[in-house]
Homo-oligomer: A and B are copies of this chain.
Amino acid sequence: MRQVIFLIRSEDRKGLLAGISGFFYSRGLNILECRQYTDVLENRYFMRVAVELGPEMTRKELESGFAELAAGLKLTYSVHYQDDVQNVAILVSKTSHCLYDLLMHAEEGSLNGRIMLVIGNHPDLESVADRFRIPFYCCPIEEGKSADQEERVLGLLRHHRIDLVVLARYMRILSDKFISSYPERIINIHHAFLPAFQGGNPYQRAWERGVKMIGATAHYATAELDEGPIIEQDVERITHESGPDQLRERGRDIERRVLTRAVQAHLEHRVIISGRRTIVFGQ
Q: Which of A40, A231, A241, A276 has the most CB of B within 10 A?
A: A241
Give CA–CA (A193, B100) in the complex, Å: 27
B230 touches A209 (CB 8 A): yes
B213 touches A193 (CB 8 A): yes
A36 touches B34 (CB 8 A): yes
Contact mask for chain A residues 78-105; partner B; CB cutoff 8 A; 1 contact, 0 none: 0000000000000000001100110010
Name the one of B40, B235, B241 contacting A213, with C-beta atoms under 8 angstroms: B235
Does A67 have its Cβ within 8 Å of any Cβ on chain B?
Answer: no
Name the one of B30, B209, B241, B274 contacting A276, with C-beta atoms under 8 angstroms: B209
Which stretch, A18-26, A138-146, A156-164, touches the partner chain B?
Answer: A18-26
Residue of B nearest to A206 (CB): B195
Give CA–CA (A41, B283) in the complex, Å: 16
A283 touches B240 (CB 8 A): no
- When distances are taken between beta carbons in the complex, the residues of chain B under 8 Å from A41 are 243-244
Residue of B nearest to A96 (CB): B108
Give the shortest distance, in Å, between A202 (CB) and chain B (any CB): 11
A18 touches B14 (CB 8 A): no
Query: Given contacts A41-B243, A210-B277, A243-B40, is CB(A252)–CB(B96) below 8 Å?
Result: no
Name the one of B18, B232, B239, B241 contacting A22, with C-beta atoms under 8 angstroms: B18
Give CA–CA (A197, B198) in the complex, Å: 12
- When distances are taken between beta carbons in the complex, the residues of chain B under 8 Å from A132 are 131
Give CA–CA (A210, B230) in the complex, Å: 6
Give CA–CA (A14, B32) in the complex, Å: 9
Give the shortest distance, in Å, between A88 (CB) and chain B (any CB): 18
